[in-house]
Chain A
Amino acid sequence: MPDYSWPAAEQRSLIGKRISRVDAPLKVSGRAKYTYDVTRPGMLFGKILRSPHAKARIVSIDISAAEKMPGVKAVHIIQQPGSTIQWAGDEVVAVAAVDEPTAEDAVRAIKVEYQPLPHMVSDAEPPAGAGEAAGPLGEDDIWDALDQMPPAEVAKQLGQYGVSFKVTEDLLEDMKKYDVPSEVIEAARKATYHEVKEGGARSSYQKAVEQTQGDPDKAFAEADVVSEGVYGLPVITHCCLESHGSTVEWPDKDHLFVHISTQNVSGIAGQMAEPLKTPAANIHIHQDHIGGGFGSKFAADRWDITAARLSQKAGGKAVRMMLERDAELEVAGARPSAYARVKVAAKKDGTITGWQSQSWGTGGPGGGGMPPIPYIFTIPNLRKQHTAIRNNIGPARAWRAPNHPQAALITMAALEDTAAKLNMDPLEFFLKNLDITGPRRDVYREEFGVAADLMGWKEKWHPRGQNISGNIGRGVGLSLHTWGGRGHESHCDFTLHPDGSVDIKMGSQDLGTGTRTCILIVAAETLGVPLEAIKLQIGDTMYPSSGGSGGSTTIGGVSSSTRRAAVDARDALFAKVAPSLSAQAGDLECVNGTVRVKSDPSRSLSWKQACAKLGAMPLTIRGNNPDKSKPPDLTNSGVGGVQMAEVEVDTDTGIVKVKKMVAVQDCGLIIDLKTAESQCYGALIMGISYSLYEEKIMDRTSGRMLNPDMQFYRLAGISDIPQLVVHMMTGKGYDERGVVGLGEPPVISPGAAISNAVANAIGVRVPFLPLTPDRVLAALSQKAGA
């Protein structure tokens, strides 16, 4: 059996080193082509008329003027009169015209009459008793529930409430793949199906989770301290710099060719097939580069399907349909909000004994899931209840580490408040309770040690509010996080050519995480040739399918399928070459562009000479992940990370400045240290951004987003970036775990760490993110009044 396992540390010349991303030269020179950059012959420009109302019935639509305009090639009504709009910015009519100005004029010429209906865009605390009893579980509810309660409880709820959708074999298969316990799979299989009427008069509030464990009443009665607080973070958007969209054409009436900005190249055709009544096999998807996704680009969206319909009406000509910035922020993705009233019970020595929370939040029309609180810490006695708010702010999408940043903020802020009440250094308090953090506890312990040194925690930490000089308060805060990150299903074709060239084809995508670079590192390391010697093609449905890039699953998937293929290809080559080196295949190795005999390196062939022995035909190997027939498992699940933040707060103006952040992170075997570190730097920066600035602000009167642009939906800029320190845990205890994903974990903790640092600096908790000056001043004046 060939040895597929990762090479040992002393044999690695590329894996784990700092290697510059291979597509960087394309990106810095403007030659990288994104979906937005694609121009097709005779291409038309699509534009969409969007609803100005958050909730309304469409009474009538008149497209006659638009249709008559010169240059307008197609008009398509997306939602017919009689339909109900559920959020502002929802798509109503689309046009395609010869150029963009004409398409804009045509949109303006369309007349739509709406009957506005009462809307709700608030996510304020639900009135007491407002929650509708839990109903049948949707598919997302099941996955959410699996995140936050024991499997037995999920199975029980499935039995009790049934499901709101038809459970398919596909779903059950998926569950198996993600190691969902069989009792839950069985319960899902047997769950009763209840039809949920679309648009029925549902309450805006739904009780999503209610759970009691241990004896919380006793824990609170016997506690030495009880800390109470309210914490939360609002809806924010993804704000991908490349907006969502596609350029779609019908080369003939049966075939569709789609350039689309997507995290899910291999999954898009299947999604377009059904609405367009075209076999997925006839749909060709292509993407070279993507300008950001962060969880919001897995679907063939309504605008993509619409582009296909416009193209159909225009005789198959390509239609470019890229969202405008306002639409991007209004409808193309949002992270659900989460708020909670929390009580924590603890003993004098710092032992956490009880948790109680009432939480709420919104993910728009679907309500949204409950963050897994208490996060990381398995508190023995707890009672928690969550209410999901369904409203008209537009749909939510997965946002980098779905639910975790919310859970981290609520939990770590509540725990830090508890430590403050105990007059304990939070570092000491967190370390004291690490025993209830599960399997990564020793990793956290080690990481806290490293982080504390890098931050200078001992010197910098003072009890709350005791490091204020003049109008400047200084403080430090910390948080910790976890994520799964097992590699997804991935396939590739790996070809050695007799002339010595090598190519890899894989239907994956590189989000800017370094996927291309990592695939090449694995292949080059295995073959002993330089990265540049291998040609890699990704981003197309002509190549073997590879999973969507979400949940930090890409690196484990693509590195594993590549490694297996590369080992098989190498060994096949050894078999062909062995006779001419008068050796056994098993005695050969490939190093530095040669194939040679391990025990006698002087007996060697150059890579080119070796490949010539393949004969006339290239050798193609399919690599797969997972592949039980080719052990070992090369990927793993479960990482731990800790972060610390240092801030300065101006108590006169309320302005928060982050001065330093430290991230210490494990992710198993690292393929490219450089891009791994970049993930962490980027996540810290994104974390500073959502901690200080980001909020999707909804106007309660009009029901519209007030800041759908980049001036008022403010991202952190270069002037907000403090000293950043990233430390990756590598070596013994880490490397042998195999490859684990890294995209999500480091973005989880910044909100909590920064919020805790601000509380430490000014002596009072600012309950909600973003930590804007008005909120800081409000908290300070409350403290002064208290």
Chain B
Amino acid sequence: MREDDDPKKPSQESSGVSRREFLKIGGITVAVPLVAGPRVVEAAGEPVKVYGPGKVPVELTVNGKKHALQLEPRVTLLDALRDHLDITGAKRVCDRGECGACTVLMDNKAVYACAVLAIEAQGKQITTVESLMEGETLHPVQQAFVDNDASQCGFCTPGFVVATKAFLDRHPNPTPDEIRRGLSGNFCRCGTYHGIQQAIAQVARKGA
């Protein structure tokens, strides 16, 4: 379903526990003391870092600002942003990587924040929709969404804006086909895709 060059594929390299490692941990039981640093255990013949299950210190860099948090390792980046930092632009809709409403940038790549653990996001630059404006001026993508009425209820909009920006950064002059594939990871219930297509055309015309 997801394209090979899809920007939202969970990254393989991460400072925390990747989903692959996470699954492996599921198969072993260890009594884990409440210590700050991760323990390393052997699973499926490979060393795997183990965090938690209690709260662990997590440091996130969001929109250029560092935040020190205490989180259970199971807390997603999305919930860390929304419930611990009150950065609520990214929305929680499906909470399992199916809809794109939670899209944020991690080191400039679009990711589903609900499919990334907060501890995985450490050491990365997290950029949310809130930081796209320059002062009171909307980013060209945001302005194009306004001009072309690409939001109705607006709940999918922040995810779409971030995904569109990431997409246009890589495809400044996209073909209709590239648009179809590049933005197929986000869903809108109100049906704003027509406006979004026009918005993309506007940015591509003017250049972002």
- Residues of A participating in the B interface, judged by any CB pair closer than 8 Å: 20-21, 23-34, 36-37, 39, 99-101, 239-243, 289-292, 294, 324-325, 511-513, 674-675, 677-678, 681-686, 689, 709-711, 715-719, 721, 724
Contact = CB atoms under 8 A, between A and B. Distances in A.
Interface of B: 72, 74-75, 79, 82-83, 86, 88-96, 98-99, 101, 128-130, 132-133, 138, 142, 145-147, 149-158, 161, 179-181, 183-184, 186-197
Given A29-B129, A31-B89, A241-B93, A685 B194 contact: yes
B155 A685 contact: no
Contacts of B152: 511-513, 678, 682
A256 to B, nearest CB: 23
Contact of A292 (B86, B133, B142, B190): B190
B99 A241 contact: yes
7 contacts: A31-B89, A101-B75, A710-B98, A715-B188, A716-B191, A716-B193, A719-B184
Contact of A710 (B75, B83, B99): B99
A240 B86 CA distance: 22
A741 to B, nearest CB: 15
B118 to A, nearest CB: 12
A25 B99 CA distance: 22
A20 B105 CA distance: 28
Nearest to A20: B146
Of the listed residues A29, A36, A716, the one surrounded by the most CB atoms of chain B closer than 10 A to its CB is: A29
A47 B179 CA distance: 38
Contacts of A721: 193-194, 197
Given A30-B89, A678-B192, A20 B138 contact: no
A513 B153 CA distance: 7
Given A27-B154, A242-B93, A710-B93, 19 more contacts: A27-B158, A30-B128, A30-B129, A31-B89, A31-B130, A34-B88, A241-B189, A325-B94, A511-B153, A512-B190, A678-B192, A678-B195, A682-B190, A685-B192, A715-B189, A716-B191, A718-B179, A718-B183, A718-B186
A37 B152 CA distance: 17
Of the listed residues B75, B88, B94, the one surrounded by the most CB atoms of chain A closer than 10 A to its CB is: B94
A646 B186 CA distance: 25
Given A241-B156, A325-B93, A325-B94, A29 B189 contact: no
A28 B161 contact: yes
A32 B194 contact: no
Contacts of B72: 101
A639 to B, nearest CB: 19
A682 B138 contact: no
Contacts, number: 173
Contacts of B193: 685, 716-718, 721
Nearest to A241: B155
Contacts of B82: 37
Contact of B191 (A33, A240, A681): A681
B152 to A, nearest CB: 4
B162 to A, nearest CB: 9
A242 B95 CA distance: 12
A352 B16 CA distance: 70
A144 to B, nearest CB: 26
A324 B95 contact: yes
A314 B94 CA distance: 29
Contacts of B79: 100
Given A681-B194, A686-B191, A718-B179, A292 B130 contact: no
A20 B147 contact: yes
Q: Lowest 8 A-B CB distances belong to which pairs?
A: A30-B89, A291-B155, A685-B191, A27-B154, A512-B153, A682-B191, A512-B152, A37-B88
A17 B86 CA distance: 38
B52 to A, nearest CB: 10
Contacts of B184: 717-719
A710 B93 CA distance: 9
Contacts of A686: 189-191
Contacts of B191: 681-686, 689, 716
A356 to B, nearest CB: 36
A25 B138 contact: yes
Contacts of A710: 93-94, 98-99, 187
B147 A100 contact: no
B149 A512 contact: no
Given A27-B151, A241-B91, A718 B98 contact: no
Nearest to A712: B98
B83 A20 contact: no
A183 B189 CA distance: 41
Contacts of B86: 39
Nearest to A681: B194
A674 B99 CA distance: 27
A25 to B, nearest CB: 6
